[in-house]
Structure 1
């Protein structure tokens, strides 16, 4: 809704009641669209499911009505003076500025944009800390989720593309980020593999001023110790600007865990019982270098070149000790299992980006390539309690991966009020894995087994979209994207497989702003998104567990998997009631077809295996509430304090799994956050409390799990000694909450249960930034 003149003059006055009725009518129309979509795709309308969507919609209608009522009850304006009393009015021309533009408020597509100024405001040291303040986003460790969904339902992009193999968000300094886009509903411009939503991280290209700084970060807890050093060199000369970002770090890990496995027969008697303790240590060291160049060409053109080079070395050791109390769990009950892993990897990536005017429009084209090579060795030993039997499981793996891709976008305004865009995307990734395995009892001479796997994945897409400013207060967005994925897999001892799938994804979004300048607005979106199986799920390669059991099974893929398809609707009411203040309430639904879940089965030879399968339909519903505002919005003389609160309630139901608790695997049913931030002169600080709900979860007719509630309290303090030097100290997991797990598998013979706990402690980190 920016950059295009209004169709109606500002002198046109429209009664607020008519707009309130029109807003409610829009909600009713979009709810009716859900019924039509369900009838077309499912042939039968599940009115009990639709009732869950109408219920949050009624909340939106009430919020709109209440807000409109408040507007209608403002004091009446004084009567207008007579023509003779009117004074000549000077003609004033007002032009909008870039500072007036807010992507969240003004863009038709529903998204939240976190700009560089806000990123640097709080002194965050990594992207995960930044996203903890983003509305509708849940961060669990290094996992980013929207709508409470894990398992790759949330799409992560860098500069609009999937990161290459080996790319780590941990190593991305916030100073390199231009903005972060949190996109709630799908858009044709980006891949529609975003059932939950998309996080797009856009890196800087143009240098505004010279920059030379060094950042040193260290953290400590009972389980880990980290050291991270990064620097930035940036400058410009005429039309040329450049970045250079070296980075290095070392992460040490030392954690422990404990638990038990037991088998309960139908009579309720424990016939098998064993306790276990586990200890893990790790050492990961990495270095990286990321240069970028930008040339400004005539006629607003640009030529950008960037690269990323990194190296990594790691060692991880695991030890498990079992004490058998009752019965026997396997053909051989091992008492001690130790595993040593060591690996090295090298990554290189390059990208060229050309921006130019073409045929009255603008072309933005990219060409990129990346290469990754790694070696991994594993040495595992399993020993019985009497040391009579020793089993070895050794492997040496060499992996090589090459990827190249091209993307492009052409934009042009053809008609008044229309911004048209079309584009393409092609990506090809090839992996070559060579594995040498030696398995057998010590003392024997087992023959080495050589294996080779060569999967190739090709993705290609084309799209078109149009953003139409119907009036100055109402805009529409229409788009369609066609995507296809082809996976070819060849492996030693495996049949050659080919998997092909394609999806046509239409999308429509609308934004309606109430014309009373109150900052109130409505959003709605109809989308079709999907989630494609990953490479490991599609290949027929099998991963063997040395101690195969119900809770340590083998893993395998399924070349016949089809992508999950989701038809969705989003409705949102937003009120920007003061500068920097917003209240929003939104609801959404996703109806998923060909839902992929990983099932545990026992094969004819007695071995247990995890294998993904398409398993019917599933439904996801959400209700999101957000409130944030500076304290000065309600108290003019208040200090520089910002308050924020969020509530996300998520529901889901898998049709093919008996209820109750037949939710999508790993979905968080409830998250709630409270936060406060203070920004003064030399000192700033803040704290946040996040609550994550839990409860029982039924994965299949036989499999059960439990999600445990968790409370995370974090606080930070930022001290700016001078404009060049600052120190940030952060404390996370202040409450010292441990991690728990529980899973259960039930058959006619009885139930096998696993209960585990992993102690965790508070973590203290410090980040020192030096500018020169």
Structure 2
């Protein structure tokens, strides 16, 4: 017999012997079964591409932040700059303004929307996209930040938080309320948050100018003393229903309001050179922002694996600022450049529709349309 056939025969006899021994040694009665189950967990930061960073709800709530600016400070590649009061601007790659696109639930924010008016408790996740994608608008140069608000309640929830903010420049009480419940075919959730902050801070700056021959011909020392107060209120009710045919309907509303009052006192000392026209200046400012946004969404999943989504929304926003300036010149005479008033109101309606289907290879085919109409009034 060839050597190869002998080896095959030996392996076959050994396998049969092991099977017989196992049957003879098996105890009487049913054989115990062991079932192992596993689920693939999804970690957005680990599984998504390097062009996208996702900060989930767990990470947002981990540090107990009361302001959205504190959450952004921990996101790689995102920078925060402060404006008047507690207003913030988000920058990517050093570019802000119209270069960094800010979205809420994948949609552009309405006119008059103040990013700092959102509370961390209202946010489900923050998506940071460094490159253009087909999912969102590609009009941003630096990148896109999509803030996804919290949706339906996953369980019965009743939670209230009271706090007090104390820092070198701001101090005051804060509150946050969360309530929600889930039934067999419906769920609801309501979040409310607000704060009242007082502000007091001082800063100084030095300005010098030297001529080409090295002679110092200007030296100014500027001091700024600022005092003010900030009030904010956020409200976000959400309702979800599952219809008899399996369709889902969701209604969510976002309302925010904030007011800021401040008094600035600017003094400029000029030991060398020419003094400014108004070296002693008082500035009083009033800034009020309001936003009301409501969306009704419908979703259906078909037997063929397609998904249909439709949304109809309405929004209203308002931004008002008033600044009054008064001072004295270098000779002590009253000097003023008057007051400035800016009042902007916007209202509009919008509608979107989308159909998606998973095709061979795990690819996703999506078709959609968007319609919006907005009216702005400014004075």
With the shorter chain as reference, the TM-score category is: 0.7 to 0.9
User: Does the CA contact (< 8 Å) of 2:321 and 2:343 recur in 1?
Assistant: yes
**Residue of 416, 429, 432 corresponding to 2:377:** 432
Counterpart-to-counterpart distance in 1, 2:35 and 2:170: 60
SS of alignment partner, residue 268 of structure 1 = coil
Q: Cα distance, 1:318 vs. partner? A: 1.3
Q: Cα distance, 1:143 vs. partner? A: 4.3
- Aligned pair in 2 of structure 1 residues 303, 255: CA closer, same or farther (>3 Å)? same
- Aligned pair in 2 of structure 1 residues 189, 116: CA closer, same or farther (>3 Å)? same
- The answer to whether the aligner puts 1:289 opposite 2:230 as a matched pair is no
User: Does the CA contact (< 8 Å) of 2:269 and 2:275 recur in 1?
Assistant: no
- The answer to whether the aligner puts 1:304 opposite 2:250 as a matched pair is yes
SS of alignment partner, residue 129 of structure 1 = helix
User: Does the CA contact (< 8 Å) of 2:275 and 2:330 recur in 1?
Assistant: no
Q: Cα distance, 1:240 vs. partner? A: 1.5
**Residue of 252, 268, 279 corresponding to 1:335:** 279
Map of 1:413-428 to 2, 5 A cutoff?
413-428=358-373
Counterpart-to-counterpart distance in 2, 1:343 and 1:297: 44
Aligned residues: 347
Counterpart-to-counterpart distance in 2, 1:263 and 1:382: 25
Counterpart-to-counterpart distance in 1, 2:50 and 2:354: 17
- The answer to whether the aligner puts 1:247 opposite 2:189 as a matched pair is no
Q: Could you tell me which residue of structure 1 aligns to residue 100 of structure 2?
A: 154
| Residues 666-709 of structure 1: per-residue CA shift (max 9 Å, x gap) | xxxxxxxxxxxxxxxxxxxxxxxxxxxxxxxxxxxxxxxxxxxx
- The answer to whether the aligner puts 1:348 opposite 2:292 as a matched pair is yes
Q: Cα distance, 1:259 vs. partner? A: 1.9
Q: Could you tell me which residue of structure 2 aligns to residue 177 of structure 1?
A: 123
User: Does the CA contact (< 8 Å) of 2:117 and 2:232 recur in 1?
Assistant: no
| Residues 46-105 of structure 1: per-residue CA shift (max 9 Å, x gap) | xxxxxxxxxxxxxxxxxxxxxxxxxxxxxxxxxxxx9646689xxx998863x4333444
User: Does the CA contact (< 8 Å) of 1:414 and 1:420 recur in 2?
Assistant: yes
**Residue of 169, 174, 179 corresponding to 1:223:** 169
SS of alignment partner, residue 100 of structure 1 = coil
Q: Could you tell me which residue of structure 2 aligns to residue 102 of structure 1?
A: 43
**Residue of 157, 164, 167 corresponding to 1:211:** 157
**Cα root mean square deviation, aligned:** 3.1
User: Does the CA contact (< 8 Å) of 2:118 and 2:256 recur in 1?
Assistant: no
| Residues 646-673 of structure 1: per-residue CA shift (max 9 Å, x gap) | xxxxxxxxxxxxxxxxxxxxxxxxxxxx
Q: Cα distance, 1:378 vs. partner? A: 2.2
Q: Could you tell me which residue of structure 2 aligns to residue 378 of structure 1?
A: 323
User: Does the CA contact (< 8 Å) of 1:109 and 1:185 recur in 2?
Assistant: no
**Residue of 109, 115, 121 corresponding to 2:56:** 115
Unaligned runs of 5+ in 2: 1-9, 20-33, 83-87
User: Does the CA contact (< 8 Å) of 1:109 and 1:187 recur in 2?
Assistant: no
Q: Cα distance, 1:356 vs. partner? A: 1.4
Counterpart-to-counterpart distance in 2, 1:126 and 1:397: 26
Q: Cα distance, 1:207 vs. partner? A: 1.5
Counterpart-to-counterpart distance in 2, 1:345 and 1:148: 26
- Aligned pair in 2 of structure 1 residues 147, 299: CA closer, same or farther (>3 Å)? farther
User: Does the CA contact (< 8 Å) of 2:263 and 2:282 recur in 1?
Assistant: yes
- Aligned pair in 2 of structure 1 residues 398, 167: CA closer, same or farther (>3 Å)? closer
User: Does the CA contact (< 8 Å) of 2:121 and 2:191 recur in 1?
Assistant: no
Counterpart-to-counterpart distance in 1, 2:58 and 2:322: 44
Could you tell me the TM-score, scaled by structure 2's length?
A: 0.79
Q: Could you tell me which residue of structure 2 aligns to residue 543 of structure 1?
A: none
- Aligned pair in 2 of structure 1 residues 388, 176: CA closer, same or farther (>3 Å)? closer
Larger radius of gyration: 2
User: Does the CA contact (< 8 Å) of 2:289 and 2:320 recur in 1?
Assistant: yes
SS of alignment partner, residue 110 of structure 2 = coil
Could you tell me the TM-score, scaled by structure 1's length?
A: 0.41
SS of alignment partner, residue 278 of structure 1 = strand
Counterpart-to-counterpart distance in 1, 2:38 and 2:309: 26
- The answer to whether the aligner puts 1:357 opposite 2:357 as a matched pair is no
SS of alignment partner, residue 117 of structure 1 = helix
Counterpart-to-counterpart distance in 2, 1:220 and 1:103: 34
Unaligned runs of 5+ in 1: 1-81, 435-772
